[in-house]
Amino acid sequence: MAYENPQSSLNIPLPVVEIEQEQIMSAPLNNPPAVTDLTIWEDDPASGVFTTAPKPDLTLPPLKFLIPGAEPPLSNDVNSAAFRYWTAAEALKRGTNFWAPIVPQPQLWQRGGDTLEVHLDRWEDLEADYNRDALNFYHGPSPSGTVYSCASPDVVCHELGHAILDAIKPGLWTAHLQEVASFHETFADMSAILCALQLPSFRQAILVETNGNLNSDSRLSRIGQQLGAAVHVLYPKDADPNCLRNASSFFSYCDPSSLPSSALTTSLSSNPHSFSRVFTGALFEALADMLTVCAANPSAATPNELRAVSEDMRDILASGVTNAREIPGYFAEVATTISLASAQKNPAYPGIFLGAFVGHAILSMETAATIQSSLNILQDEFVEMAHDRQLAEALTVLPSSRYGLAEDLNIAMTTSPLGFIARSARTDGKSMEHTSLPVAAEAFVDELFMIGQVDYNGFGLKGFKSYGRRRSKTHELVLRDGGLTLQRRLFH
């Protein structure tokens, strides 16, 4: 049974008229949407809100996509594969138009070349993923009928965010660290949020819904509403009842290795999707405060001011992630480089970011005070380290008996140059000492096995059954240089 949205009919008769996008923004709210040549879900099928956009051309540079198969005709049947195709295509093009300025040329996609494949419906699974070769989407059951992950612009732009981050910082793919994996999820959720804000109609609607206070529970903060609701029914600890994750929820930092590997969504676990909410919450808070300081009238920010702030956040995230080293305590590291990058955009921004990071215990007060007093010196130091980085490969060996393997497991690690070390806060507010790289990597690997995210690829002991119920695994075991090693396969 196909999903039926209660607010829509199966076929929406809409005229085909070309207009400028910004005309939509200025239209009174009670008018029917001005029409271009494409009708799409604004953020998610569960919102039930349509908007219109120019028909995208996925073959245009600089970041191209290939959806195998014939291009379907436009359709206003919200339950049709064609409607999902064009909704996904528009989200992809809007997302890459937004992110393209910060993707280094000419490398483009991490797989090489300028074209990334997109598979809109691989098989039954309540999932979506990015595996370096492609963005993959699936379908699965819900009480309302079948849901398709590609039908949600939120989910599409989340997966796109993984691909963009992989293009600008490929080292994060191979780092076996809980906070690095969690930041990848934060970046992907921020991609969903920031790409949604590139729709004029959505910017205006969100300013009305939140009364200008972006840091509230809204269609902007609730990411992947339809897919999240479906996942919640089958796996209540993997999603909120009304979305995959809510960026306006509040969690404080603690060492992820001290957390359980899974928990209900009201608590924090070390699972990257759960733990990412610490950092996403801080960034979402910062986004709201950026709008307040940038608006000519702080109590009546305009859609254009919101767009400008979303572009500032994009540039700050890209610069911050470029300069951060992949080290234990990565949240404090990347919070530092993000705060430093924000100073290059607007002198009011560092106070906003540092306040959000201290509030979420991602940075200790001591570290934040040091950053605040040394913005330019530290910025120069991190930029220099990023340019002159001498990365060294190291190896830690984990015992076969722990994982039901026939031989010990090699875990590759990358050591970074020493420099300023940012600290997160303990519960008493004092600076926290980070664990060593081998200890942090072991905690990450143990968690992967515990939650069943490793495909053994036949390397398990005879008769050993691996854990976990999900078909799609983020990591796999492979033989490399004569030894058994762990490598990432995808991000969900």
Q: State the residues that interact with Zn ion by CB under 5 A.
A: 185, 188, 491-492
C-beta closer to Zn ion: residue 83 or 279: 279
Amino acid at 164: I
Helix then strand count (H, E) for the chain reads 15, 15
- Spatial contact of 376 and 334, defined as CB atoms under 8 Å apart: no
* CB 17, min distance to Zn ion, A: 37
Q: What residues contact 46, with CB distance under 8 A and at least 6 apart?
A: 5, 225, 226, 229, 242
How far is it, in rounded angstroms, from Cα 115 to Cα 107? 11
How far is it, in rounded angstroms, from Cα 63 to Cα 355? 35
- Neighbouring CB atoms inside 10 A of 294's CB total 18
CA atoms within 13 A on the CB side of 367: 32
How far is it, in rounded angstroms, from Cα 195 to Cα 388? 32
Q: Would you call 460 exposed, middle or buried from its count of C-beta atoms within 10 A (0-12, 13-18, 19+)?
A: middle
Q: Would you call 297 exposed, middle or buried from its count of C-beta atoms within 10 A (0-12, 13-18, 19+)?
A: exposed
* CB 129, min distance to Zn ion, A: 8
C-beta closer to Zn ion: residue 188 or 306: 188
- Spatial contact of 441 and 411, defined as CB atoms under 8 Å apart: yes
C-beta closer to Zn ion: residue 44 or 185: 185
* CB 488, min distance to Zn ion, A: 12
- What residue spans of 295-391 are helical by DSSP H? 303-323, 330-345, 349-359, 365-373, 375-387
- Spatial contact of 189 and 161, defined as CB atoms under 8 Å apart: yes
Report residue 417 CA to chain centroid gap: 27
C-beta closer to Zn ion: residue 173 or 491: 491
C-beta closer to Zn ion: residue 161 or 212: 161
* CB 172, min distance to Zn ion, A: 12
* CB 299, min distance to Zn ion, A: 35
C-beta closer to Zn ion: residue 190 or 371: 190
* CB 444, min distance to Zn ion, A: 16
* CB 198, min distance to Zn ion, A: 20
C-beta closer to Zn ion: residue 50 or 491: 491
Kind of pairing between the strands at 115-119 and 134-137: parallel
**End-to-end Cα, the chain, rounded Å:** 25
How far is it, in rounded angstroms, from Cα 319 to Cα 459? 40
C-beta closer to Zn ion: residue 185 or 285: 185
Q: Is the peptide bond before 6 cis (omega within 30 degrees of 0)?
A: no
* CB 491, min distance to Zn ion, A: 5
C-beta closer to Zn ion: residue 265 or 367: 265
* CB 441, min distance to Zn ion, A: 21
User: Quick check: helix, strand or coil at residue 450?
Assistant: helix
* CB 3, min distance to Zn ion, A: 22
C-beta closer to Zn ion: residue 338 or 490: 490
Q: What residues contact 395, with CB distance under 8 A and at least 6 apart?
A: 410, 411, 412, 413
Which residue, judged by CB position, is nearest to Zn ion in the bound state? Answer: 188
* CB 159, min distance to Zn ion, A: 7
How far is it, in rounded angstroms, from Cα 379 to Cα 340? 6
* CB 248, min distance to Zn ion, A: 19
Backbone φ and ψ for 266, nearest 5 degrees, come out as -75, -10
C-beta closer to Zn ion: residue 194 or 340: 194
User: Quick check: helix, strand or coil at residue 475?
Assistant: strand
C-beta closer to Zn ion: residue 183 or 459: 183
